[in-house]
């Protein structure tokens, strides 16, 4: 899962748009009733994750919720980092302006 999180972080550094779309899709699927086996198929086939330890929809739901949490975390980390960076740049510009006055 550490490698997956690193991939999410790398993607977030480029753009969070698609990560947000994936997060919305995951949350929607998890929040709405699904036919039996749907979540298991999503986890094993689409996410290519072995669910041998709990090959049930409930087990897959746990895995998919974890992915959603990781996506949310990567998005929030990147956006808070952008905010801090733009905030620091704004502060530096203001301070430079104060020195010249």
User: Which token pair is 4?
Assistant: 């997956």
Element (H, E) at 10: helix 2-14
Quote the pTM value: 0.76
pLDDT bin (cut points 50, 70, 90) of residue 81 is confident
Q: What is the pLDDT of residues 11-52, one digit of tens each?
A: 999 999 999 999 999 999 999 999 999 999 999 999 999 999
Q: For residue 77, count CB atoms less than 10 angstroms from its CB and return exposed for 0-12, middle for 13-18, buried for 19 or more.
A: middle
Report the C-alpha dihedral over residues 81, 84, 85, 87, rounded to 10 degrees: 150
**Long-range contacts, 13-16 (Cβ 8 Å, 24+):** 13/78, 16/75, 16/78, 16/79
> Can you give the pLDDT at residue 29?
96
Distance CA 61, CA 63 (A): 5
């Amino acid at each position: 899962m550490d490698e997956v999180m690193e991939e999410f972080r790398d993607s977030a550094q480029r753009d969070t748009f698609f990560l947000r779309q994936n997060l919305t899709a995951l949350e929607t699927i998890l929040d709405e009733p699904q036919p039996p086996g749907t979540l298991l198929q999503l986890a094993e086939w689409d996410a290519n994750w072995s669910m041998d330890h709990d090959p049930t929809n409930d087990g897959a739901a746990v895995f998919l919720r974890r992915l959603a949490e990781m996506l949310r975390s990567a998005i929030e980390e990147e956006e808070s980092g952008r905010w801090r960076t733009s905030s620091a740049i704004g502060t530096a510009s203001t301070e430079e302006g104060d020195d010249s006055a």
